[in-house]
Amino acid sequence: MKWTNLIIAVILFSTSLAGQEIDPKLTEVWEPVPEKVTPGIFPSNPPSDAIILFDGTDLSQWRKPVIGYGGSMAEIEALAKKRAAMEAYEEKDADWEVKDGALIVVPGKGHIETRKAFGDIQLHIEWLSPADPGKEGQGYSNSGIFLMGHYEIQVLNSYENPTYPNGQAGALYKQSMPLVNACRPPGEWQSYDIIFMAPKFAGDGSLLRPATVTAFHNGVLIQNHYELKGPCIYRGEPYYVPHPEKLPLILQDHSDRVRFRNIWVREL
């Protein structure tokens, strides 16, 4: 060691002894080590830890809803009572159409739901509105993704198709309109990437934490950590009704031939 370096070392050592230097190691966090995940070649491809809900081939991950969906708070309350009273149930297979790698709503068959229940998730889903110039407003390619069966992110053709903005594509239905309209024209595939945090309830049913949603439409931020006021309902004002920590994801039959593909989730 050169004598100049030695002098510098002595100075540094003495200043640290005097309490002037904070060891940077004190703020290094080494545990836990983030789990290694291999991303898809494109961001829309499922990463290695994703649960595949639809890969274009079959409906094995889906069934007809066991409890169902409520469009008003009275219906939501009734569903909660039905759920509490229910013991065993028979699963009925989902019967929407699978064609050309897409899952297609069959009007009249009703909603479908995942066999598995989810709480906090990252969800990727792609959808397509078939071009149909005769349709308009809420009647043009309406479907929806009901997180936990209660919290809907709207699926609708909102490309040059006006409707109430808190009910357009990417809206948290009747609660939060999208920050921007990132819709592609009918006939083109588009995507949602959603981060959903489930509501938390105390033992007495009181709300500890509201559900939140962050969402991207075709890669564009449309919902930024929005705190839901309760279920996304068609009629009336929402409020929270306690429910289990995990519930199935529902896709809506709103009488339009909307298509879905490449559906996967990561549990958070």
Amino acid, res. 58: D
Residue 230 touching Mg ion (CB under 5 A)? no
Count each helix (H run) and each strand (E run) in the chain, helices first.
Answer: 2, 15
Q: Which residue is nearest to Mg ion (CB)?
A: 144
> What is the total residue count of the chain?
268
Q: What share of the chain is helix, strand, coil (3-state, %, to 5)?
A: 15, 30, 55
Region near Mg ion per CB under 5 A, out of 86-94, 139-147, 180-188, 255-263: 139-147
Residue 178 touching Mg ion (CB under 5 A)? no
> Binding-site residue total for Mg ion (CB under 5 A)?
2
Residue 186 touching Mg ion (CB under 5 A)? no
CB atoms inside a 10 Å sphere around CB 139: 16
Region near Mg ion per CB under 5 A, out of 8-16, 109-117, 134-142, 235-243: 134-142
Would you give the DSSP letter of residue 44? T
Q: Shortest Cβ distance from residue 253 to Mg ion (Å)? A: 10
Residue 238 touching Mg ion (CB under 5 A)? no
Of 253 and 266, which has the nearer Cβ to Mg ion? 253
Q: Is 241 exposed, middle or buried (0-12, 13-18, 19+ CB in 10 A)?
A: buried
Residue 231 touching Mg ion (CB under 5 A)? no
CB atoms inside a 10 Å sphere around CB 115: 15
**CA-CA distance, 188 to 266, in Å (whole number)?**
25
Q: Shortest Cβ distance from residue 234 to Mg ion (Å)? A: 9
Give the one residue of 65, 119, 144, 170 binding Mg ion; rule: CB under 5 A: 144
Region near Mg ion per CB under 5 A, out of 14-22, 24-32, 86-94, 135-143: 135-143
Of 50 and 196, which has the nearer Cβ to Mg ion? 196
